[in-house]
Structure 1
């Protein structure tokens, strides 16, 4: 077995956790994959803005990071290199709006040594008596921006799930370090779960704060933690206005959104009625090839230099 101490340094004493009746929650969100609309990154940024606590565990980044694939930024000033922004993969001790301590694991998704990473996180979980780990992610889906954000929830135990998912049967998906971590933690007897937000595929490459707010609301439900989500919700509302303004200029995109709305509404009606999912009303929608140029123009309109988005 890989020695986890080789890959992570955990502080010896965290007195803030001593008075908890149960162990703390560990929330994790890793950069690099499974984050359409930057939803998990926005959620993580919101948590750090409210409480960026001290680092209680740090991972050996050189063991996990491919510097040539994701080159960190440096500053070159006239004739010399004077600044370097190294990647960091850490666990912070944060507090929610009620003062309850929790742990936040964030940083780049490991490029290599996933099993060693999982073992290192296990060491953190067991050393700091973590009672539940919760992940956040997002994927592009054929859903409309005009309807509430849908989530897929997943867990190592059925009783951790909030709702049933739309998925029936099995589906093959690309692996991620976060997904492997959840599976391994479950195998080691540590409860783990997470949420994946569904992002409208036509805006998936741009910030989608509404999904971040929805995920954090669900994390609140399963953990009992609370945060002020006012700024994230306001950013989501502003983005909806921006998208709506862009769509007004494109009849083709409006047709696609209308078709997605029909499918979304048909699915939810079938859930309420307990019937099989009916097909949305047929409509003469453009093909994917026909929409390619139109979506490029639409997305280019969203990517404004002065809109405050990254």
Structure 2
């Protein structure tokens, strides 16, 4: 089952684009959309005041209310292999109840693997390959090396909690997060969606037709190139990001450090002492003898 929730992890609308592409290309029924096999009670999960659904005001009346829907669809890949797609707005509340409801879907339909997709804004240039962070609740599922070292404290999401809970309940789950250039995070960025679905193909052993998404990605890249050619300041930012990216890539490939030679990393205690001295300086008197 593929999971793509709108909201938090969706820079460049990469997850939403990937989801729409799956629905459009994976529907087995002539009218499209696939078959909805499970629905969630959105009224129990959605904060309408925080994320107000759109509707139309037509001259003198309201119409066309677009109610949020969180559903599971049955789709098929290009080779006819069936799979499920869970998509819709990320729950605002009752995450634990949401996870238990997803568990019911997983067990009722005999799902053997859950794969989530998402994207985050990063200080990376669009002219370099899309980086993907791989994660899983079972180390045997990982298909790539993590670009991160050590631990990071990050805001949680319903998708992240779902992966944790499924692991505790004995079900495999993994996911992929695309790194979207931060200056493109508010635009539709099909190249990130394409990169995510390529990873889904490998992880879930599906065959997904990506030609249309690839064409959209090329069109968007051409639009970005035209914009940069007419805006020197933005081009300078991209050039700086390219230099930074290439420097780190070379250091990674050569196994070298970006630290100056003969400059060891300070210990935690040394950093703590320096910080204490800094705070003490803020609390002391200023040069005129008055309070700082």
Q: TM-score, normalization: structure 2?
A: 0.83
Residue 137 of structure 2 corresponds to residue 162 of structure 1: no
Residues 194-238 of structure 1: CA deviation (Å, up to 9, x unaligned): 011001111111111000001100110111101111111111111
Q: CA RMSD in A?
A: 1.5
Say if 1:266 and 1:278, in contact at 8 Å, map to a contact too. Answer: no
Map 1:14-163 to 2 at 5 A: 26-50=1-25, 51=27, 52-163=33-144
Partner of residue 186 from structure 1, selected from 149, 156, 167: 167
- Please name the residue that 1:299 is paired with: none
C-alpha spacing 1:81/1:224, structure 2 compared with 1 (3 Å)? same
String of CA shifts for 1:238-265, please: whole Å, max 9, x gaps: 1111111111122222222112112222
Query: Is the Cα–Cα contact under 8 Å of residues 267 and 278 in structure 1 kept in the other structure?
Result: no
Counterpart check, 1:263 vs 2:238: no
1:276, distance to aligned residue in structure 2 (A):
3.2
Residues 77, 202 of structure 1: alpha-carbon distance in 2 compared, 3 angstrom cutoff: closer
Give every structure 1 segment of 4 or more consecutive aligned residues whose post-TM-superposition deviation is greater than 6 Å: none
How far does residue 105 in structure 1 lie from its aligned partner after superposition? 0.2
Q: State the alpha-carbon separation in 2 of the partners of residues 78 and 258 from structure 1.
A: 49
Call closer, same or farther: CA 1:79–1:259 in 2, change over 3 Å.
Answer: closer
Q: Distance in 1 between matches of 2:210 and 2:11?
A: 20
Match of 1:218 among 199, 209, 216: 199
Is the contact made by 1:59 and 1:89 (CA closer than 8 Å) also made in structure 2? yes
Q: State the alpha-carbon separation in 1 of the partners of residues 160 and 213 from structure 2.
A: 26
Specify the structure having the higher radius of gyration (Cα): 2
> C-alpha separation between the residues in 1 aligned to 2:256 and 2:143?
21
The correspondence of residues 284-295 of structure 1 with structure 2, limited to 5 A, is: none
Q: Deviations over 1:85-144 (max 9, x none)?
A: 211100000000100000000001001000000010011111111111011111000100
Count how many residue pairs are aligned between Structure 1 and Structure 2.
254
Stretches of structure 1 lacking an aligned partner (at least 5 in a row):
1-25, 280-310
* Offset, 1:159: 1.4
C-alpha distance in 2 between matches for 1:39 and 1:82: 29
Partner of 2:263: none
The verdict on how the C-alpha distance between 1:46 and 1:67 changes in structure 2, with shifts beyond 3 A counting, is same
TM-score, normalised to structure 1's length? Answer: 0.79
Pair 1:246 & 2:227 matched: yes
Number of the residue aligned with 2:186: 205
Structure 1 278/134 Cα, relative in aligned 2: closer, same or farther at 3 Å?
farther
